[in-house]
Structure 1
Amino acid sequence: MTKNIDLHTHLILKILNGLNSKPIDGKIKFQKITFLVLRNFKERFEFFDFKPHKFGPYSESLDYALEEIKNKEEARIEKDTIKITENGKKKLNELESITELSEKEKKNKELIEKAIENIKEDFINFTSNEMLAFIYKSYPDYISDSIVADKIDYEKLFLELYDKGELGISKIAELMSWEFQEAYNFIKKNTKLQIL
């Protein structure tokens, strides 16, 4: 069991430490960023056992491990902001120094680190509702237990993300299952920005 907890701890601390330790706004967003990071790493993804939940994909073991880390003062949760502490950075260094990895594991570690940086950077400016809209449209299998999916105004949120420069027209077309021209017309009709 300790090995599992260390794997959870290691991943959580890496995510919190990523992008220059930029804090993550809330547990919902933390769960979704972790979900997106692990989607590309089947072995690790299955280990965290994400299931459909009230607010999208949810891993009970991830939530439990985050609470353990908080109790050990390796992370701080204040006003729904989660950030790594100096103790957490020390623990992360300790975990990384005692772990001997095969060449395959080293490569996998590098890929996970890159995924953490990319996903955290891509989604750090999303609100929780924007994250949920993106997740629900990208992974509809996780809508079944949602209490908010049918209340989300997807068009409005994706338009706001477009205005903030977070989503492009082709991604909106993909998420909404539209042809590119339909998404282009939607953006042109509903935005102040002029499309040339």
Structure 2
Amino acid sequence: MERIYHLIKLLLYIAREEGVEVNATKLQKIFFLLEKEGGVDLGLEFKPWFFGPYSSILQDCIEKLVDSGDVDVKEQEIKDMLSNEIIGYKRVYILNSDFSKSENDKKIEEFFRKWVKMSRSDILNYVYKKYPEYGKYSIIKDKILGIFNE
């Protein structure tokens, strides 16, 4: 688990350097791609879920970093466009502790830097097109992005 904690902090460190946000969906998809395309086996056991590939192990790790104070969470309201009622919250993760990169992080740092700069929609489109088996329960895929109706 220590390696996963370190890599979460590395991703959030890079996000801070790049001036971009990392929400829960983006975090999940970047780590999914790190395993699938980066060749880094972290044993995260991704499963198909409502917003594409999801790892409860990864979510537990980020929650432990939040509980320990290493990571802050900023919640942003999501409002229904018609009623203006709050229908959910977008969680944005922010590194809240000192962090030092190691020489061993170079390859993963490059990988993270590429993906963290991309929008959440671009990452979701990429994942849904390349790994459709992980998006079979996705509401976003069918209702918002519509990429499988083409």
- The TM-score range, normalised by the shorter chain, is 0.7 to 0.9
Cα distance in structure 2, aligned partners of 1:36 and 1:176: 24
Q: CA deviation at 1:145?
A: 2.5
SS in 2 for 1:152: helix
Q: Structure 1 residues 37, 84: closer, same or farther in 2, change over 3 A?
A: same
Unaligned runs of 5+ in 2: 76-90
By percentage of residues, which structure has more strand? 2
SS in 2 for 1:83: strand
Q: What residue is the counterpart of 1:185 in the other structure? A: none
In the alignment, structure 1 residue 139 sits paired with structure 2 residue 150: no
Q: CA deviation at 1:139?
A: 1.5
Query: What do residues 167-186 of structure 1 show as CA deviations (whole Å, max 9, x unaligned)?
Result: xxxxxxxx999xxxxxxxxx
Q: CA deviation at 1:135?
A: 1.6
Q: CA deviation at 1:111?
A: 1.3
Moved beyond 6 Å, runs of 4+: none
Q: What residue is the counterpart of 1:34 in the other structure? A: 31
Cα distance in structure 1, aligned partners of 2:126 and 2:149: 10
In the alignment, structure 1 residue 75 sits paired with structure 2 residue 67: no
- Which AA in structure 2 matches 1:48? L
Query: What do residues 21-63 of structure 1 show as CA deviations (whole Å, max 9, x unaligned)?
Result: 6352421122112222332233425x11111111101111110
Cα distance in structure 2, aligned partners of 1:25 and 1:140: 23
In the alignment, structure 1 residue 148 sits paired with structure 2 residue 136: no
Q: What residue is the counterpart of 2:54 in the other structure? A: 58
Report the number of matched residues: 134
Give TM-score, length-normalised by structure 2.
0.74
User: Where do 1:106-125 residues align within 5 Å?
Assistant: 106=104, 109-121=105-117, 123=118
Which structure has the bigger radius of gyration?
1
- Which AA in structure 2 matches 1:152? I
Coordinate RMSD, CA, aligned: 2.7
Give TM-score, length-normalised by structure 1.
0.58
- Which AA in structure 2 matches 1:40? E
Cα distance in structure 1, aligned partners of 2:39 and 2:67: 29
SS in 2 for 1:9: helix
Q: CA deviation at 1:154?
A: 3.9
Q: CA deviation at 1:75?
A: 0.6
Structure with more contact order per residue of length (Cα contacts < 8 Å, sep ≥ 6)? 2
Q: CA deviation at 1:134?
A: 2.8
